[in-house]
Amino acid sequence: MAKITIRDVAREAGVSISTVSNALNDVDVLNPATKMHVLEVAERLNYIPNLNGKMLKSGKTMMLGFFTTSVAGPYFYKLVETMSRQCERHGYGLNVFVTKDKHVIMSNILGRRVDGVIIYEELKIDEDDIAVMEKDRIKAVFLDREFKGETMGSVIFDSYTAGYEAAKYLIGLGHKRIAYISGVDTMFDSVQRREGYRAALREYGLPPDDDYIIQGYFEEDSTFNAIKAFIRSYGHKLPDAFLAGNDLSAIGCIQALKAHGYEIPTDISVVGFDDIDIAPYFSPPLTTVRNPIARQGILAIDRLVGMIRGEEEGLSQKLPGELIVRGSSHVNIGRADRR
Amino acid sequence: MAKITIRDVAREAGVSISTVSNALNDVDVLNPATKMHVLEVAERLNYIPNLNGKMLKSGKTMMLGFFTTSVAGPYFYKLVETMSRQCERHGYGLNVFVTKDKHVIMSNILGRRVDGVIIYEELKIDEDDIAVMEKDRIKAVFLDREFKGETMGSVIFDSYTAGYEAAKYLIGLGHKRIAYISGVDTMFDSVQRREGYRAALREYGLPPDDDYIIQGYFEEDSTFNAIKAFIRSYGHKLPDAFLAGNDLSAIGCIQALKAHGYEIPTDISVVGFDDIDIAPYFSPPLTTVRNPIARQGILAIDRLVGMIRGEEEGLSQKLPGELIVRGSSHVNIGRADRR
DNA sequence: TGCAAAAATGTAACCGTTAACATGAAGAGA
DNA sequence: TCTCTTCATGTTAACGGTTACATTTTTGCA
């Protein structure tokens, strides 16, 4: 069965294609009676306009693209869920591309498969790519870097200050040996949090030690393994607190410490970032810096839609975190080295 | 700056548009020298073909659609990650639509925004919709129901047998009062698992009790709350085992039981479904029925691509689970009612 | 050198829409 | 009755590619 086009509807209804088009797009120039009739025929034939024709002609796809290296973990899926919902509110669809292939990204963006893009690609998009996008006046919002241009902007979490505040909080509890569990160095948030942490350490006279930077890849199981390995090598001089780059690694870290018989937070404090859904239900409930993921998603979409509509220019927004103190942190009573 | 089209490249290179098209699409009919020249010019002008033009003419978008009510939680994001990767392998992109709006779904499918679709919409797509899709020979794979047609099929987890086996396993441990923590009744997997569980109970002479069906919505925190409420009303006659509809609710259940002082698995056994990433790292490590999510995603994409290529018909596949015994289950020693 | 066949390139139709403009019908005023 | 609006509808040219087919150029061989 061949696909029904606007011409089929026109023929069947005994009108011209432009009349059909006008009827379907609610252009109030038609005789109400004919409009009704056309709509009926379209309904009867199960006519659905071909979006490719529509998009080509109008130059609009009514789709926004989200380019990301991953959707794994609470941070990403929460972001996707919120953005998706916000898109629907603006009448757009959200196209999620999970890829690390820059060529795929660029050809989809520049090939106009979407009207605008949200980018979280861990710096795979470089200066040159951005220049090309700017020349084409692509509308874009970055989530993984600061940027401000005419048609492109950014909405980021202030990870630097969050890292600084979290470290300061741990120092305030009396901790002296504070380790940082990082993601990878292409991740903006991981690096920013680490630098904030370092700044706080320096400020309070605790020299940052590179041995205390542990690669946890922002995942639970890899952190679990990393911490186990760490304990094996540094068991004699374990940190009295861990600042984990995100809640997932905080959880992995706690599991590993527990497995070695340490009690959290009595022996060792652990603080995370994000405040994911399960943070309050974990045992112990996680102390963490809340990342306004939902707000970030909503703002990103709003900015993007604003730029597409030509109502706003790109701007760079930075969202503050909020320290949520729960059960995984505790004043230091010097029990980390009990064995 | 106006967008560069194939005509601009043709003019600049001093050739016709078909030559440009052939050069770019690697049609081996061109003089290598002209091909090279055209490619150079295209490169210099930063020409990227407009995908809308391409799609309209070819009738192919090289995009597959995943329509889902949610991407939240390990099950979904794992599915999305795997499918996305598998798509890339076949040269397709994956378009994720998170929506509950049937109209959005149907117009995107029938409007040919994608070449084929994977559907997990918790029965929002009804018989009539399916009939319309079949008439249009839409290529589709369902993940949330069994289906077999000429251009549409399904790849599902055998949740019924999984529920049956899990319940049988708990009965084998000596448990007599086994509760089931369900999702919602529009969810295929939740219902199937529950029915399998009921069948096992009946088979072993333990009459299923509707009071022992708890709504946990497949989420951690809502299960946590549901179990707390349950304990308040049924504390005097608590189950000696919980069969949770998925690992997330198993975790929420365990947290709630722990909060009330029960020890898992000594006092109460808890078994989940899925075997999500964190299952082995949870304390206690979760006993669960492994859901081959990755395989499901890969097979779904493979089937879909096969149908698009016209190489295969729709077929209905059912993937078996695998009971993974870890630390959250234990032979019943009658301590559930200790207080 | 001439001519047929093969190779390379160009022309134009088409994919399914929208929208600017053209046409035709009906109503109003003289 | 005749023109002038106004309103309703039809005609057609885009949008940016691909591709069947036409045309031109090159090659091989008598």
- Say how many Å lie between the first and final Cα of chain B, rounded: 76
Q: Give chain A's mean pLDDT.
A: 94
Please check the confidence at residue B270 and state whether its pLDDT lies above 60. yes
Note the pLDDT of residue B334: 74
Distance A273 CA to C24 C1' (A): 70
| Domain B159-291 CATH (choose: 3.30.360.10, 3.40.50.2300, 3.40.50.1000, 3.30.70.890) | 3.40.50.2300
Note the pLDDT of residue B236: 77
- Is the pTM higher than 0.85? The answer reads yes
In this prediction, residues B41-55 reach a mean pLDDT of 96
Cβ of B52 < 7 Å from strand D?
A: yes
B157 alpha-carbon distance from chain centroid: 10
Distance A56 CA to C18 C1' (A): 10
Please check the confidence at residue B28 and state whether its pLDDT lies above 90. no
Q: B60-77: per-residue pLDDT in tens? A: 999 999 999 999 999 999
Nearest Cα of chain A lies from the Cα of B46 at a distance, in angstroms, of: 8
Beta-carbon neighbour count of residue A322 at 10 Å?
Answer: 12
Most confident residue range from A275-284, B9-18, B227-236: B9-18
Measured from Cα to the C1' atom, the residue closest to C14 is B57
Q: CA–CA separation, B63 vs A114, rounded Å? A: 13
Please check the confidence at residue B127 and state whether its pLDDT lies above 70. yes
Q: Which two tokens stand for residue B146?
A: 């069994």
Note the pLDDT of residue B337: 56
Q: What percent of chain A has pLDDT over 90?
A: 91
Helices (H) and strands (E) in chain B, counts: 12, 12
Q: CA–CA separation, B129 vs A239, rounded Å? A: 60
B85 alpha-carbon distance from chain centroid: 14
**Residue from A4, A77, A262 to probe the interface with B (highest B Cβ count within 10 Å):** A77
Note the pLDDT of residue A116: 97
Q: Do B220 and A135 touch (CB under 8 A)?
A: no
Q: Is A174 exposed, middle or buried (0-12, 13-18, 19+ CB in 10 A)?
A: middle
Q: Measure the CA angle with vertex A252, ends A250 and A257; round to 5°.
A: 90
With CA atoms as reference, the chain A residue closest to B44 would be A132
Continuous segment of H or E residues that includes residue B6: helix B6-13
Q: Is B14 exposed, middle or buried (0-12, 13-18, 19+ CB in 10 A)?
A: exposed
Q: A4-45: per-residue pLDDT in tens? A: 999 999 999 999 999 999 999 988 889 999 999 999 999 999
Q: With CA atoms as reference, report the closest residue to B276 among A278, A338, A105.
A: A278
Asked if residue B272 lies in contact with residue B56, where contact means CB atoms within 8 angstroms, the answer is no
In this prediction, residues B133-160 reach a mean pLDDT of 96
CATH 3.40.50.2300 location in chain A: 61-157+293-319, 159-291
Fold of A61-157+293-319: Rossmann fold (3.40.50)
Note the pLDDT of residue A2: 66
Which residues of chain A between 54 and 113 are close to nucleic strand C, CB under 7 A? 54, 56-58
Nearest Cα of chain B lies from the Cα of A264 at a distance, in angstroms, of: 14
Note the pLDDT of residue B283: 84
How long is chain A?
A: 339
Note the pLDDT of residue B1: 55
Note the pLDDT of residue B281: 80
Please check the confidence at residue A141 and state whether its pLDDT lies above 70. yes
Q: Which two tokens stand for residue B56?
A: 């309209």
Is cis: bond before A239, omega within 30 of 0?
no
Q: Give chain B's mean pLDDT.
A: 94
- Return the higher-pLDDT residue of B90 and B28: B90
Cβ of B5 < 7 Å from strand D?
A: yes
Q: Do A52 and B71 touch (CB under 8 A)?
A: no
Q: Is A294 exposed, middle or buried (0-12, 13-18, 19+ CB in 10 A)?
A: middle
Q: What percent of chain B has pLDDT over 70?
A: 98
Position A280 confidence tier, pLDDT thresholds 50, 70, 90: confident
Note the pLDDT of residue A336: 61
Note the pLDDT of residue B86: 97
Q: CA–CA separation, A114 vs A123, rounded Å? A: 21
Please check the confidence at residue A335 and state whether its pLDDT lies above 80. no
Q: Do A77 and B88 touch (CB under 8 A)?
A: no
Please compute, for residue B12, the number of CA atoms within 13 A of its CA located in the half-sphere on the CB side: 18
With CA atoms as reference, the chain A residue closest to B93 would be A97
B144: Cβ contacts below 8 Å, ≥ 6 apart: B119, B120, B121, B122, B123, B156, B187, B188, B189
Cβ of A34 < 7 Å from strand D?
A: yes
Q: Do A81 and B70 touch (CB under 8 A)?
A: yes
Q: A162-211: per-residue pLDDT in tens? A: 999 999 999 999 999 999 999 999 999 999 999 999 999 999 999 999 99
Asked if residue A113 lies in contact with residue A65, where contact means CB atoms within 8 angstroms, the answer is yes
Q: CA–CA separation, B332 vs B103, rounded Å? A: 51
In this prediction, residues B76-98 reach a mean pLDDT of 95
A64: Cβ contacts below 8 Å, ≥ 6 apart: A83, A87, A92, A93, A94, A95, A114, A115, A116, A117, A118, A301, A304, A305
Note the pLDDT of residue B278: 85
Secondary-structure breakdown of chain B: helix, strand, coil percentages, each rounded to the nearest 5: 45, 15, 40
Q: What percent of chain A has pLDDT over 70?
A: 98
Position B123 confidence tier, pLDDT thresholds 50, 70, 90: confident
Please check the confidence at residue A338 and state whether its pLDDT lies above 90. no
Q: What percent of chain B has pLDDT over 90?
A: 91
Asked if residue A328 lies in contact with residue A257, where contact means CB atoms within 8 angstroms, the answer is no
Position B339 confidence tier, pLDDT thresholds 50, 70, 90: very low
Q: CA–CA separation, A209 vs A227, rounded Å? A: 16
In this prediction, residues A252-265 reach a mean pLDDT of 94
Note the pLDDT of residue B2: 67
Comparing CB atoms, the residue among B49, B72, B283 nearest residue A111 is B49
Q: Which two tokens stand for residue A77?
A: 């899926």
Comparing CB atoms, the residue among A55, A224, A282 nearest residue B52 is A55
In this prediction, residues A205-230 reach a mean pLDDT of 95
Please check the confidence at residue B268 and state whether its pLDDT lies above 80. yes
Note the pLDDT of residue B115: 97
Note the pLDDT of residue A278: 85
Nucleotide nearest to B38 (CA to C1'): C9
Cβ of B31 < 7 Å from strand C?
A: yes
Note the pLDDT of residue A339: 44
Nucleotide nearest to B31 (CA to C1'): C8
Please check the confidence at residue B290 and state whether its pLDDT lies above 70. yes
Cβ of B85 < 7 Å from strand D?
A: no
Please check the confidence at residue A328 and state whether its pLDDT lies above 60. yes
May I ask the CATH class of domain A6-49? mainly alpha
CATH 1.10.260.40 location in chain A: 6-49
Note the pLDDT of residue A277: 86
CA distances from B279 to A87, A221, B327 (A): 33, 10, 10
